Structure 1
Amino acid sequence: MSGRTLGEQLADFASGSSYSDLPEAVVESVKMRLLDTLGIAVAAAGLDSSRAARRWAVEQAGAGHASAVGVEDKLPANLAAFVNGVLMHSLDYDDTHLPSVLHPSASVVPAALAAAERAGADGPRLIHAVAVGLEACVRLGMAGYDEESGSSTFFEHGQHATSICGAMGGAVAASVLAGRPDRVVHALGVAASMASGIIEGNRTGGTIKRLHCGWAAHAAVSAGELSDLGITGPPTVLEGRFGFFQAWLHGRFDADAVTKGLGDVWSVPDIFFKPYPANHFTHTIVDATSALRRRGIDPSRIDRLTVGVPAPIVRTIGEPIEVKRSPETGYMAQFSGPYAAAVGLFGGGGLGASLEDYTDELAGDPARRALMQRVDIVADDRCTKIFPHQFPAIVTALLTDGETVVEEVLTNKGGPDRPLSFAALSQKFHSNVDPHLTAEAASAVTGTCRRLEEVAHVSELISPLRAVDLQAAPVPG
């Protein structure tokens, strides 16, 4: 591939491969990610922001080609991708790639699903498109990872790499599904002018972050369709003087992260699934305090709980500590280290914590509030050295009788060191969808994901989710 631009090399990789070239681990990983994100979308269907997204899409709609969760009639593919992307990212339950700390599936999967349904694609084509789209997304995210500082340059610039790189990865997936391999590089060139996202909402509020993956998926499908109609993009869209990396990263990027081992070394199976519906930084806290509970330590025996975490995440889950100890809503609780400790000590559902553990009612529960007042979130040197390849936690409990008990969890459940099986992801899926779907519909989606390589048309996977119960079971926020 000597002499080819970065964008052309990504396009060569995507268009020059097929389902039969994918390693078995990649195929299985993609099927699990499809099941995971669809379940999250169903669980998020009742949110006010989800209703707004659906209403907006329906009001824009023209000829229908693709299915959206909770919308009875088919929508144009880009609008179906928008709705599903909003829902898949709205509960902070979607997967995470480390150390780039971006969430790839919630943009790439809805784009690929909509484009596949529009194209009448079968299961193998969908699997391949999701795989190459995720790989492109993750590699672009890693191009902006600063090894020296251990952080994402996108993040430090206030940019949401999830939606920015997600639009690009989604465009690769959507363009491959259109059956025009010569247009993939143009789809990247078009999508780069549509990719966006700032993360100030993480600091001061607003529901706009929930729309980010919807906009990314919408841009991805639109870019694929526009390039198919003849709109062209620059071949130097990534590394060019006024290209993607200059615009977002001020020209500081790692080109090898984009192309080294492309097609031979796959990042997809190593993307971390989320077992719990909360900020990923809090998950090991849930695990550590769950271990305390299994040792017979209940909240009434705890005089003080010190939670050691990587220094860079204290500001996210531990500051201001007064707010983190008293979350006003279930959504705020998802970003609270003290609340994560309460979840583990009081015991959670699902795989250890479920949506039912993050309601407004439980966020204000007096017993949990009392425990949270005794929780400190501090920087720990051991944890900081491991971050951001994992989000470790070391929990020290000082008991009322003077005894000190320590639990440490240095790797995240759902990652390559502690993987989740298809059966575990099925349990998470059913926990998310059972309040909203009939048992028959839920089982049908699970079964279709399990045998996706045999499915003749992807509508079989997504169309059962157009009819969901939007009034069932509360969700955070």
Structure 2
Amino acid sequence: MSISKQLAAHASGTHFDDLPAQAVAAVKRSLLDALGVTLAAGTLGQASRAFVETARSSGQGPSRVIGFGFGAAPSLAALANGAMSHALDYEDTHDAALVHPHGIALPAALAVAQAVGGITGAQFIAALAVGADISCRLGLAMADDDTRRGWTMRPLLGTYGAAAAVGKLLGLDEARMVQAFALAFNQATCSSGFLSSPNSHMREIRDAFGAQAAVIAAQLAARGVNAYDQPIEGAHGLYAMYAGGRYDAAQLTSGLGRVFEGANVSFKAWPSCRGTHSFIEAALSLREEAPVAPASIARIDAVVSPTFRILCEPLAQKRSPQTANDAKFSVPFSTAIALVHGRLSLADYLPPALGDPEVLAMAQRVHCEVCNDWNFDDSLRGILKLTLHDGRVWVREISRPLGDVRHPMSEAALLSKFMDCVRYAATPIAPERARRIAAGIATLERAPDLSALDV
């Protein structure tokens, strides 16, 4: 059986009762996290509002645009919600696979589930579990550097997983699921050109197109539309077209149906690029434990991995970012926030905060060094050295920042993050209702419907 067929059979044939308890718990954590992050983006996203208004202009439909109180056609609701899901770069991440497995899957799956109706909580959990698993496996199998070829693969890999989740909710069998993969593949891509375009919104809204593509692909596959049979491993499939034909097939099928990679995601404790988190954690711990007063710091040295040198270059720009996205992808600025304020939240990346004179002054003291001896497994590693005016030196090394699967956030911390995100929802949500939503997600597998997700 081809790899495409094996993954399609996995998606169509896996049911809630097949899921390990760990996988169920992981889906619920990711669902709470993704919903909160999407709600916050309703007011904090820079370009996502244009997608919301595009969905609104299409007329009413059965699928809710998260946080805005109206419904739209499934594909347009998925488009709008997908534009918000990654807008703050605050959602979960599979660090080894380099994908955000729920950023596309949740907007697409929720839109279709609400349109279909009658979907139970258990069915929805199963759909998200297989969708995330497939996205992560596709990323783990990548044996080539996508950025070297000019692509950003995360949205494309996520589109396959989202198509699996949507196809499952639509009841596609193995053969139709393969076609859903192929039809999604033909609609989705993402150039890395936005990385060198300071005014681009693509980093924020890139998951919108994958979510819409997944919905349309699964709907067309359900109606008998065919593309081709090997959209993953074929001569014109994913790896041939985007990775020079190089991939690790074992990563795609090993433990399939037993190991669900969505259970191995990391969560973001802070609303910035994961590559900044070791330095944020080091700064917070030194500030608290040393303790180090901000005014006493003369120089700050950060040792970063080759993977995340982009978070330090060009240094002048990273010390004084002009946009929220630039700030979130800056080791100097994010470290300075932590050292000056002793905490870091969504508010610290809002436009007024970018001009904070104390933070900007602290960021000027940050110097970065790339350790070329570190390999990919060391990507998130960071060393922070503070040299004080009196000559004392404090050093903190973080190998796995808070939120990593081996250094997890507590359930209380995830709930606190959700509650903070809800504060920024476009349609105000009272704290009591937010807690009810969280409680509904915690018991979603017992729910006869998805009313807990009606926000």
User: 2:39–2:424: 8 Å Cα contact kept in structure 1?
Assistant: no
Give the secondary-structure state (helix, strand or coil) at the position aligned to 1:200.
helix
Alignment of 1:55-66 (within 5 A): 55-61=53-59, 64-66=61-63
SS at 1:407's partner residue? strand
Q: Please tell me the residue identity of whatever aligns with 1:398.
A: T
Q: C-alpha distance in 2, partners of 1:136/1:36?
A: 20
TM-superposed CA distance for 1:60, in Å, is 3.3
Classify 1:136/1:169 alpha carbon distance in 2 versus 1 (closer, same or farther; 3 Å): same
Contact 1:290-1:347 within 8 A present in 2 as well: no
Alpha-carbon shift at residue 204 of structure 1 (Å): 2.3
**Among 121, 124, 127, which residue is 2:122 paired with?**
124
SS of equivalent residue, structure 1 residue 185: helix
1:358 maps to 2:324: no
SS in 2 for 1:31: helix
CA contact (8 A) 1:66 1:114 kept: yes
Does residue 91 in structure 1 map to residue 91 in structure 2?
no
Other-structure match for 1:329: 323
Matched, 1:203 2:200: no
Alignment of 1:164-313 (within 5 A): 164-182=156-174, 183-205=176-198, 206-294=200-288, 295-313=290-308
2:42 paired residue among 23, 42, 45: 45
1:434, distance to aligned residue in structure 2 (A): 2.5
Residue 318 in 1 paired to residue 312 in 2?
Answer: yes
Check if 1:432 corresponds to 2:432: no
Task: Kindly tell me the number of residue pairs found equivalent between the two proteins.
Answer: 447
Q: CA 1:420/1:323 → structure 2, altered by over 3 Å: closer, same or farther?
A: same
Is the contact made by 1:339 and 1:368 (CA closer than 8 Å) also made in structure 2? Answer: yes
Equivalent residue, structure 2, for 1:105: 102
Structure 2 partner of 1:54: 52
The Cα shift of 1:332 comes to 1.9
Contact 2:305 2:378 in 1 (8 A): no
SS of alignment partner, residue 44 of structure 1: helix
Q: Is the aligned partner of 1:6 residue 2:3?
A: yes
User: Residues of 2 paired with 1:435 and 1:54: CA distance?
Assistant: 16
Q: Deviations for 1:433-452, whole angstroms, at most 9, x for unmatched residues?
A: 03432223312211111110
**Structure 2 counterpart of 1:449, one-letter code:** I
Identity %: 32
Note the C-alpha offset of 1:100: 2.6
- 8 Å CA contact 2:20–2:258 kept in 1: the answer is no
Indicate conservation of the 8 Å contact 1:168/1:195, yes or no. no
Using the alignment, how far apart are the partners of 1:370 and 1:348 within structure 2?
Answer: 16
SS at match of 1:377: strand
The alpha carbon displacement at 1:220 in A equals 0.5
| 8 A Cα contact 2:46 2:201, kept in partner | no
* Deviations 1:208-253 (CA, angstroms, capped at 9, x unpaired): 2222111111111111101011112322121111222111112122
Aligned to 1:45, what secondary structure does the other structure show? helix
Q: Could you list the per-position Cα deviations for residues 112-163 of structure 1 after superposition, in whole angstroms to 9, with x for gaps in the alignment?
A: 11122222211000100000000111111122144xxxxxx22322222221
Deviation at 1:48, TM superposition (A): 4.1
The one-character-per-residue Cα deviations of 1:367-415 (angstroms, maximum 9, x if unpaired) are: 1111111110111356x23x34650111111111111111111112111
Q: What secondary structure sits across from 2:195 in the alignment?
A: helix
CA distance in 1, matches of 2:324, 2:130: 35
CA deviation after TM superposition for structure 1 residue 308, in Å: 0.6
Shift of 1:5: 1.0
What's the counterpart of residue 367 of structure 1? 358
Paired AA for residue 124 in structure 1: A
Q: Match for 1:20: what amino acid?
A: D
Q: Is the 8 A contact 2:307 2:379 kept in 1?
A: no
Q: 1:305 is paired with a residue of what secondary structure?
A: strand
Structure 1 87/348 Cα, relative in aligned 2: closer, same or farther at 3 Å? farther
Residues of 2 paired with 1:109 and 1:89: CA distance? 11
Alpha-carbon distance in structure 2 between the residues aligned to 1:51 and 1:330? 16
Q: How large is the RMSD of aligned CA atoms in angstroms?
A: 1.6
CA distance in 2, matches of 1:346, 1:417: 28
Mark the runs of 5 or more structure 1 residues left unpaired by the alignment: 147-152, 466-477
TM-score by length of 2: 0.94
Q: Provide the rounded CA distance (Å) in 2 between the counterparts of 1:395 and 1:389.
A: 15
Q: Partners of 1:299 and 1:48 in 2: how far apart?
A: 31
**1:53–1:83 Cα contact (<8 Å) kept:** yes
Paired letter, 1:355: L
Paired letter, 2:148: E
- Is 2:76 the counterpart of 1:79? yes
Q: Distance in 2 between matches of 1:22 and 1:395?
A: 41
| Structure 2 unaligned regions, length at least 5 | none
Please give the secondary structure, in 1, of the residue aligned with 2:71: coil
1:470 alignment partner in structure 2? none
Change (3 A) 1:28 1:395: same
SS of the residue aligned with 2:57? helix
